[in-house]
Structure 1
Amino acid sequence: MLTNKEVRELLPHRYPFLLVDKVIELEPGKKVVAIKNVSINEPFFQGHFPEYPIMPGVLIVEALAQAAGIAVAVLEENKGKLGVFAGIDAMKFKNQVMPGDVLTLEAEILMSKLGVTKAKVKASVDGKVAAEGEIKFAMTKA
């Protein structure tokens, strides 16, 4: 488990773009389960959409990428490196994420080779899948 402070030590993102609040399960280099508490106070809800606020899919993907990044950022060989998004495959959006939801972010590392990582990711609310697919990111010197 990682606190928000520990998450901030691993990720360079800051409010309003830090989309992981805490980590509840971590197997370094293999798997991560993290939480994003979705608040009506998120800046994107002002315009997406004022009368029917839903979390933009692209930000769900970013939250998943940040969570997956934590799984490899904790490895000694990645200390001081920055994870940059490199690709997305077969991402499907199945349910909406709304204010008040607790978004569970899961990532399973499928492959990590030559600084590029591929992960199977899933975001869910109360056990219902909101989004799932595969992402790729590269670890580079910051």
Structure 2
Amino acid sequence: MNAYLPPPPEAIERFLAEVAFTGDGLVPAIAQQHDSGEVLMMAWMTREAIAETLASGRVCYYSRSRRGLWRKGESSGQVQHLVDLRLDCDGDTLLALVDQVGVACHTGRRSCFYTALRDGVPTALTEPEVDPETLYGGGR
């Protein structure tokens, strides 16, 4: 796999011009493991988060609870390295193809999508791979 090469600033601006942000200035972003296709998580991005992601090659989201940029893995070490960032046909959803280091979910699981109905009961399909206390020291 080739290393991510950041595009020039003018290309980032052209990409940002195509994004249809919500009234709050957000756009949903799905993170997918680039080589396996596994869907890891969904989060929100702002214009600033997208620009930083494209410029740095490390995925940055917007935390609605903290009301600020959330650099994935900054406190946990569970980093997402960008392989490609794609915009859907309507311009209102992003797909981040990533190389996930460690787990993606704050629960210590590889993916946030681990609950499904089994025999009419919401059931966890996977167990945590890492103790969340170890990742975040009790916080998130």
TM-score (norm 2): 0.27
Higher strand share goes to which structure? Answer: 1
TM-score (norm 1): 0.27
Higher helix share goes to which structure? Answer: 1
